[in-house]
Amino acid sequence: MDGVEKVRFKKKNIWLSIVALVISICLSMVAAGFYFFKVACVPEKKGFISANSNVVKKSDPLYKQKSWYFKEKKQKWYMTSASDNYKLDANYIPKANSNKTAVILHGYMNNKDTMAAYAYLFHKLGYNVLLPDARAHGESEGKYIGYGWIEKSDVKKWINKVLAKNGSNNKVVLFGVSMGGATAMMTSGEKLPKQVKAVVEDCGYTSVKDEIEHEAQDLYHMPTFPRFPMVEIVSGINKTKVGYFFQDGPSVNQLKKNTRPILFIHGAKDTFVPTKMVYQNYKATKSPKELWIVPKAQHAKSYQTAPKQYEQHVARFLNKYVKN
């Protein structure tokens, strides 16, 4: 082998090594993508989500509200999901002689019972309350978490079920916290029955992609690279498994289509869904709207931080837009 051939051979080996390294990195990124997809979108116990319990401590600022819910007699409602034919579960608590119903939507990896205090609030305000378990949560079937984008179609079916059960004169309010808040906002941009009169959302995010990117940074301290390609890889996996890219799930775009009055609530100290997101959601909304930032409140803790003020804000808003 002469000198020229040695140089060519050496260059070839270098290029082969580079190609092998690139392939190795890509395969590692894809493997990591499947890992993070499982963490974010598959309904398993998450270490960063507080354990749920039906045991209410007397030290809880919402002890009275939660205790009422767990003692109250509940009806079981069921339906199949808008897609995939999953069996979905909900609790329903009627209010005597009421023609109003609140559909109450829980957060990520929570369930209907974690919304106990909100059930009390709406019932006290004169509403029947329906508390569904989102697909892949609680007692509802499902393989993947849709962050509200898939669930919004299920919510539309729950609304239709309420009207079928309670009559066409029933007035419906959508309420949700965290992922439930995002679900309510996403649902608001859909074509809904005229009986849906208002929306109240608490600490929902601007879009699925924004929240996933924030979690990657907040929970895993992932710098811009590899956060950007990793989120895109997970988004691609989500498209294959769940049916949509993360960027296809924006609350802000749905809010632009919403025509119903909406009350935005967000904790001033929220770091899980950053408080700045509520301002983007509020700005995107063209319908009648109100915004309340709760001082000192962390994520999904506005009610327990300021119980009396929370009840007053919700009551005033609904009294303005939902008439008997």
Torsion sign across C-alpha atoms 188, 190, 192, 194: positive
Cβ–Cβ < 8 Å for 18, 216: no
DSSP character string of 291-312: EEEETT--TT-HHHHSHHHHHH
Cβ–Cβ < 8 Å for 266, 293: yes
Start-end of H helices in the chain: 3-41, 63-71, 116-124, 151-166, 179-188, 208-220, 224-241, 251-257, 276-284, 302-305, 307-321
CA 246 – CA 235 distance, rounded (Å): 5
What's the rounded mean pLDDT across residues 62-76?
A: 96
Cβ–Cβ < 8 Å for 70, 52: no
Asked if pLDDT for residue 228 goes beyond 50, the answer is yes
Torsion sign across C-alpha atoms 213, 216, 217, 223: negative
Q: Which 8-state DSSP code applies to residue 250?
A: B
Would you list the domain boundaries of the chain?
58-207+249-321
Beta bridge partner(s), residue 89: 78
Answer left, alpha or beta for residue 167, where phi above 0 means left and psi between -120 and 50 means alpha. left
Domain 58-207+249-321: top CATH class? alpha beta
pLDDT in tens, 38-61: 989 998 765 545 545 567 889 999
pLDDT value at position 48?
47
Cβ–Cβ < 8 Å for 202, 300: yes
pLDDT value at position 227?
58
> Average pLDDT of the chain?
89
pLDDT value at position 33?
77
Comparing 13-17, 107-111, 286-290, the range with the smallest average pLDDT is 13-17
Q: Which 8-state DSSP code applies to residue 74?
A: -
Banded model confidence at residue 216, pLDDT cuts 50, 70, 90: confident
- Angle at the Cα of 317 (from 62 to 279), degrees rounded to 5? 85
Asked if pLDDT for residue 171 goes beyond 90, the answer is yes
Tell me, what amino acid is at 252? V
CA 318 – CA 312 distance, rounded (Å): 10
Beta carbons within 8 Å of 78's beta carbon, 6+ residues apart:
87, 88, 89, 90
